[in-house]
Amino acid sequence: MRIIAVIPAYNEEKRIGETIRKVRPLVDGVVVVDDGSSDATFDTAMQSGVTVLRHAMNRGQGAGLKTGTEAALQIGADVIVHIDADGQHDPSFIPVLVDPIKRGEADVVMGSRFMGLRPEGIPLSRRLLHRAIKIFNALVMGIPRKLTDPQSGLRAMNSEASRRLDFRQDRMAHCSELLRLITRSDLRWVEVPVKVTYSEDTLAKGNKNLDAVKIAWQLFIGMFSK
């Protein structure tokens, strides 16, 4: 089984190199999508010898993931792993994510930060944000409450699931949109515990509390867009 990791990166010159180094031994291929960075992300990624694609302008994390996923399918991926470039996802969990797919027990595996392994450095405000997103996901998006992590960016899926999950949100809202598509399809999905490390850097770049409103708005407008 050919496992390919997809890493969207936007202005991650400081961290992308290390992330690639850690991810590479655990997979058969790496596709980095430089999402219109203004720093040296593209060159740094190229130096590591993996497949690097470049968005001519910044289109958002969701757009980057989709480009990377299409690329991975084109180069013959059987399993696609989505992982953040900023190092908050511990790549050592990749085998854990891929395992249920290898065994033929699941089509989509999502990493959950809330299944036992305590996340490191997660601030209270972020916890409240997750709770708000979870309620919104259940009531508005119709995503089952049994899903423990409403905003997990670490996931693996087989090629069939990748082809079928046609997510269109370019920015932050792709996460909720994907969850909705996954849980409403007949794809077999499962959550596995993963550990996420929050640092000042990643927090500064990650979701801000106001983003919950932005995400809700993007999803709302998205409902009326083709």
The contact set with other proteins (CB under 8 A) reads 4, 24, 27-31, 33, 36, 49-51, 53-57, 59-60, 63, 66-67, 70-72, 74-76, 168, 170, 221-222, 224-226
Task: Evaluate whether 36 touches 58 at the Cβ level (below 8 Å).
Answer: yes
Cβ partners under 8 Å of residue 133, min gap 6: 150, 151, 176, 212, 215
CB of 104 to other proteins, least distance (A): 23
Closest CA to 151 of 119, 178, 125: 178
Beta bridge partners of 55: none
CA–CA gap between residue 210 and residue 212 (Å, rounded) = 5
**In residues, how long is the chain?**
226
Cβ proximity to other proteins, 38 vs 225, nearer residue = 225
CB of 203 to other proteins, least distance (A): 27
CA–CA gap between residue 32 and residue 35 (Å, rounded) = 9
Closest CA to 19 of 6, 3, 28, 35: 6
CB of 130 to other proteins, least distance (A): 26
CB of 77 to other proteins, least distance (A): 9
The dihedral sign for the CA sequence 59, 62, 65, 69: negative
CB of 222 to other proteins, least distance (A): 7
CB of 22 to other proteins, least distance (A): 13
Longest alpha-carbon distance in the chain: 46
CA dihedral 1, 93, 72, 88 (to 10 degrees): -170
Cβ proximity to other proteins, 57 vs 210, nearer residue = 57
